[in-house]
Amino acid sequence: MSFTLLAACGGDTMPVVKLPEIDTSNPLLVEEWDTPRQTPPFSRIETKHYAPAFETAIAVVRAEIEAIVNNPAKPTFRNTIVPLERQGVLLNRISGLFFNLLEADTSEEMQQIALDMQPALTELQNDIALDPELFARVKAVYEHPGFGLSKEDRKLLEETYRSFARQGAALSDEDKELYRKYTSEEAELMLRFGQNVLAATNAFTLDIDDASKVAELPEFLREELAAEARSRGRKGWTVTLHAPSYMPFLTYSSDRALKERLWRANYTRCVGGEYDNTEIVKRIAELRLRIANLLGHESYADYVLEDRMAERAATVNDFLADLLDRTRDYAVRDYETVNAYADSLGLEGRIMPWDWAYYSEKYKNQRYAVNDELVKPYFKLENVVKGVFLLANKLYGIEFTPAKEIDVYHPDVTAYEVTDADGRFLAVLYLDFFPRPSKRAGAWMTEFRGTYRVGDREVRPLVSLVMNFTKPTDTKPSLLTFDEVTTFLHEFGHSLHGIFAQGEYLSLNGTNVKHDFVELPSQIMENWASEKEFLDLWAAHYETGEPIPAELVDRIIAAQHYLAAYGNVRQLSLGLTDMAWHSLREPFAGDVTEFETAAMAPSQVLPVVPGTAITPSFSHIFSGGYSAGYYGYKWAEVLEADAYSLFREKGIFDREVARSFRDNILSQGDHEHPMTLYVRFRGHKPETQALIDKMGLGE
């Protein structure tokens, strides 16, 4: 790796960087890793290496920026915009490792480093964005770009200028200082929010000593809960708030008292107590409002959505309201159907939130004769991996080869080399499947390194999929639920967006797209989970090897519309909550749980439980990148429902359709407006009716 920007390119005088001293005994700071595909040498990297590496990398960035600013040559695209895009290679490398591991395999030491380094990182970002001389050079190029720029060059120039403007470059000196203050505090609070959620999740256990309380549970769940108890040095069975433990217990236990305790623990995570996030929520919302106001917007949602596919808050609010209006009555009908069924079984009173999973699962099993216990034996994790890889091969011709020589960050992680149909290396893919105390809940795709090109040298991505699936036990392998198979396909779709990335500039490649477009590649992949033609290729019983029965696949397909409206409205309720917090026009000083109840009221189907809320643990919007953007999941569902209809029309493995999707969506990143890319693939703009039809509403 070279951190020096050389001095001649197309007639432009390039900045020459005077680098600080670099301690190459630190494995994070060596010029190039002597590893396969220059993958991170995780086994050589110790926690103590991160802080000094960050400090050095920040100094390198400052030197790179100083060289651009002090270049005596007239600002041009090649001597200003390109080196600005190229700076930060070292910092990106270190951040790409540290912050991904902070989510997937953290420790108290790493969390403290994050808190210690965040102010310096935020200060650096602000120093770049608010540097008047640097912005003057960028603005000069933006106003007079000259000739000979490619379409990709012009897109980079436009996005660079917009980024500076949106980060306060045009503010007065006084307002710039306020911007620095607000963004620095926001970044620190977002870190604390996420750390509190993880700590609160790990802190709670429901310990069961009475064997009669678990006798009704499926064998796989009893074994999982017993293994959890043993890992904690106790006898009996232990339920946690991690999804592979929490959701199955709610689904299969009939003990309302235990389930209520568990559910309330989940929905009061970070509401009061040691890991309280309620004041942090209000302060983050206030800081975001103040940032938006400084930048000329009435709300943070207005500010965020200016740079999204939807473009305006009014568009999002209309979209959510329209979907809610068209599906809420069906969702209420779903609830009443399950409630009547529970009543027929002797349930006293109405179904409460902690009852929902149990009775909805029992009703599904009765009506469709399908449940997780029937399905899981055919979804052994190793077979699912083979099936997902097979799907990618049938669609795109790519191959996945185990790469045991590639270092991984945890024994649970496996690495694969991904190659194209012609043998060309595309990416390294890391798979990390099982929950652990050092990993946050949920499932996500990330990158240790993105893709870009410098001259003839192309840097290919290092992609990681992180999930929380049921662990194998002493007697059973990891067997996935249908929902977990769907989750795997979803995250794998994100990985394809990274794997197929093409282009010169990192910031325009892969998943670096509008947030309400980024879920299209992931959500379209979920459709294959219930395609009989796909399941027949690989789904087999883990003990007998018998293929998944055709009638079981038929029942899975028939059950696809079950509770579709309820699930849709539940997602809309989260989007409404997100928009409510980020549409504030005055700071909020009231009760967080009451605010959420009011925001969700139009979409409320299950009974409200006072004092509970998802907001204080809603990591997507308060410590992730989905603030004023959670609606994007439903937005992308409309896109994918319309897009997948073309596969349905032409064939679910049709190579021509897949090639078009790869060429127009997966490989294009942010090179063009997402609607332009979508229409080029599909031939028309998407319509909401495609999602309504997919849910089977009105049939």
- The catalytic site residues sit at 491
What is the distance between the alpha carbons of residues 62 and 51, in angstroms, rounded to a whole number? Answer: 17
Both tokens of residue 40? 């991170």
What is the distance between the alpha carbons of residues 442 and 468, in angstroms, rounded to a whole number? Answer: 6
What is the distance between the alpha carbons of residues 526 and 302, in angstroms, rounded to a whole number? Answer: 31
Q: Chain centroid to CA 657: how far?
A: 26
What is the distance between the alpha carbons of residues 13 and 146, in angstroms, rounded to a whole number? Answer: 16
Both tokens of residue 682? 């599909």
Q: Which residues fall within 8 angstroms of residue 147, CB to CB, at 6 or more apart? A: none
- Residue 52's identity, in one-letter code, is P
Both tokens of residue 77? 């695209």
Q: Give the β-pairing of 462-466 and 425-432.
A: parallel
Tell me the C-alpha to C-alpha distance, in Å, between residue 137 and each of 12, 144, 154. 14, 11, 16
Task: Check if the beta carbon of residue 245 is closer than 8 Å to that of residue 201.
Answer: no
DSSP state of 666: I
Query: Residue 48: which of 95, 103, 110 has the closest Cα?
Result: 110
Tell me the C-alpha to C-alpha distance, in Å, between residue 640 and each of 275, 301, 663. 38, 24, 16
Q: What does 283-322 look like in DSSP terms, one character per residue?
A: HHHHHHHHHHHHTT-SSHHHHHHTTSSS-SHHHHHHHHHH
Residue with structure tokens 């190029």?
141
Residue 366 neighbours by CB distance under 10 Å: 10
DSSP helix/strand/coil, 41:
coil
What is the distance between the alpha carbons of residues 372 and 217, in angstroms, rounded to a whole number? Answer: 12
Element holding 351 (H helix, E strand):
none
